[in-house]
Amino acid sequence: MILGEKLTFEYAAYDETPPVLTLKGVDITVKAGEFIAILGHNGSGKSTLAKHLNALLVPAEGTLWIKGADTKDAENTWRIRQTVGMVFQNPDNQIIATIVEEDVAFGPENLGVKPTEIRKRVDESLAAVGMSEHSLAPPHHLSGGQKQRVAIAGVLAMHPECIVLDEPTAMLDPSGRREVMETITKLNRESGMTVILITHFMEEAAQADRILVMDDGVLVMNDIPRNIFRQAEAMQKLGLGVPGVTELAHELRRRGLDVADDVLTIEEFMSDKAIKSLL
Amino acid sequence: MTKITIGQHYPTDSIIHHLDARVKLIGTIMYIVFLLFVNHYAGYGVAALFLTGIIALSKIPPRLIFRGLRMIVFILIFAAGINLFFTAGETVLFHFAFIRITLEGIMMASHMAMRLILLVMGSSILTLTTSPIQLTDGIESLLNPLKPIKVPAHDIAMLMTIALRYIPALAEEMEKIMKAQKARGADFDTGGLIKRIRSMLPILVPLFVSAFKRADELATAMEARCYRGDINRTKMKAMKMTRTEFIGMGVMICFGGLIFLTRLL
Ligand SMILES: Nc1ncnc2c1ncn2[C@@H]1O[C@H](COP(=O)(O)OP(=O)(O)O)[C@@H](O)[C@H]1O
Ligand SMILES: [Mg+2]
């Protein structure tokens, strides 16, 4: 689905400071239907990488193929942006229209889809994110979580095969975060949507099939969540944590309790042999 | 929520809501022009009846339409006052010092007041029954014939849509910044004009910075959703001239005819 080889990128410097490479030879592969989480401290290049995935940026060196189409080729740009949809961090700055359903229609309208077909897609997309009853609401009356779900619906209406979400929950309260995460995981499981989730929340990343960790423009880790979070110290060096329960398990191990070092959820933790024997 | 109610749209499933935005735009312009031609009270009566009919059809709670009038109370009193006191007239009803009230003055003032009230109520029906996007789409479509003389119809419409979308957001943000500055001891309410304008600077600077950041992010988000101007673009709510639309235009023309008949009275 996505194949990138030795991607490098630098932002044009607009003052004296010498340009620094934001991506330094990133290799990335994503298979159709995968749920990938990308972690990394602020400024590690996650957003820059994300913008490459739908040709908002093109690599200076290296090549990125989306379903076999080279993103550098301007002829592919629109098809790539339709194939890989993108949801951004700030829900207020990505909703264009003044009514929910008209915003969801924006993407397919740009693609030149027939009006009757757009109507159908809008209704389906709003249903998929559970926002049907708000189809006529003005966006500024919605909660943050609802706005992000509208943004996701706006992408779904373009019938993409992959959705890239750049810290979609960073500005939300806990209930909004849960709404968005439930929507994302449902899309991945039930519709087989390929999902690439950039996040700061380790609990969210733990739900992915695979985690990529970035550090200063380099992909430094690429593994299943269990193996990533087992390395709490390495993560700490990268300025990252591990999920709360995992941290607790590690702490207990250090104190001599034989808890597994790769628990990811509270349920797993509670059903761990060592914990059970304590209760 | 913010007090700003520009483009306050009140969705219902009425026939007026479903009417093509272009018809509503032209209808509103016709209505305003006809009002200017009224010179007999019967004309206002006809217009008021017509308006009542439209409001009933639109299923909009009348209080929303009257709410629009609150904003113009001041203008109304001012305009009526000027006409009342400064109309030269023969039939003096009341004279005290420099105040002279004439029958003609009262007539002019009441004409003015009725015209304004009917005008504001009529045009608020347009914004209440038409979503901003439909409105701007309508304007775009009406401006389209001007494209050959380089009128960027699509861009004007997109600009208006985005402005309407972001006015409430920016107003909210301004409130937030003002509160933050007040909490730090800023004073916006006292002092002369110059001092007050200067005290606004710490608000305007962050407001502009954030507006530009928003604009940049919004542009990226639009590009990510394949926006490229009006190339190969379609509309979900396609403009359509069906029987209802032609009947609507017919009704407007009849209304105009009635208004002109009242001039003969
Ligand atoms: N538009 C830009 N112009 C110049 N430099 C930028 C721009 N956007 C990001 N950068 C720089 O690129 C680096 C990586 O940024 P980014 O990809 O946003 O990281 P992340 O999303 O992981 O926080 C940062 O050092 C940042 O300062
Ligand atoms: Mg980022």
Residue B147 maps to a domain: no
Residue B212 maps to a domain: no
Report the residue among A17, A22, A52, A220 best suited for mutation to probe ligand 1: largest number of ligand atoms under 8 A from its CB.
A22
B127: Cβ–Cβ under 8 A, 6 or more apart, which residues?
B7, B8, B9, B135
Ligand that comes closest to the CA of residue A39: 1
How many separate helices (H) and strands (E) can be counted in chain A?
Answer: 12, 10
Is a pLDDT exceeding 60 seen at residue B252?
Answer: yes
What average pLDDT does range B124-135 have in this prediction? 86
Contact A15, A32 (CB under 8 A): no
Q: Which string of DSSP letters, residue by residue, matches A168-224? A: TTTTS-HHHHHHHHHHHHHHHHHH--EEEEE-S-HHHHTTSSEEEEEETTEEEEEE-
Residue that wins the pLDDT comparison between B119 and A98: B119
Angle at A273 between CA A269 and CA A276, to 5 degrees: 75
Give yes or no for B228 touching A (CB within 8 A): yes
The domains of chain A are located at: 2-225
Residue B96 maps to a domain: yes
CA distance A84 to B205: 36
pLDDT of residue A139: 87
pLDDT of residue B6: 46
pLDDT of residue A152: 97
Atom of ligand 1 nearest to the CA of A166: 21
Is a pLDDT exceeding 50 seen at residue A136?
Answer: yes
Residue B160 maps to a domain: no
pLDDT of residue A84: 96
**Which candidate, A23, A59, A75, A11, places its Cα nearest to that of A214?**
A23
CA distance B102 to chain A (A): 50
pLDDT of residue A108: 96
- Domain total of chain B: 1
Residue B227 maps to a domain: no
The whole domain housing B66 covers 1-130+237-265
A192: Cβ–Cβ under 8 A, 6 or more apart, which residues?
A32, A33
Residue B208 maps to a domain: no
Q: CATH code for A2-225?
A: 3.40.50.300
pLDDT of residue B4: 43
Contact B23, B249 (CB under 8 A): yes
Residue A40 in contact with ligand 1 by CB distance below 6 A: yes
Is a pLDDT exceeding 80 seen at residue B68?
Answer: no
What average pLDDT does range A114-142 have in this prediction? 93
pLDDT of residue A279: 78
Is a pLDDT exceeding 50 seen at residue B227?
Answer: yes
pLDDT of residue B2: 41
ipTM of this complex prediction, to 2 decimal places: 0.89
Protein residue with its CA nearest to atom 21 in ligand 1: A47
**Which candidate, B85, B59, B78, places its Cα nearest to that of B116?**
B78
Confidence class for position A87, pLDDT limits 50, 70, 90: very high
Is a pLDDT exceeding 50 seen at residue B9?
Answer: yes
Mean pLDDT of chain A: 93
Residue B168 maps to a domain: no
CA distance A89 to A80: 21
CA distance A163 to A188: 10
Q: What are phi and psi of A14, to 5 degrees?
A: -110, 10
**Token code pair at residue A208:** 């992915």
| Rounded distance from Cα A42 to ligand 2 centre (Å) | 7
B27: Cβ–Cβ under 8 A, 6 or more apart, which residues?
B248, B249, B252
Contact A126, A118 (CB under 8 A): no
pLDDT of residue A30: 96
Residue pLDDT, tens place only, B192-220 = 778 877 877 878 888 888 888 888 999 99
Residue A277 in contact with ligand 1 by CB distance below 6 A: no
Residue pLDDT, tens place only, B155-174 = 888 888 888 778 777 888 88
Residue B245 maps to a domain: yes
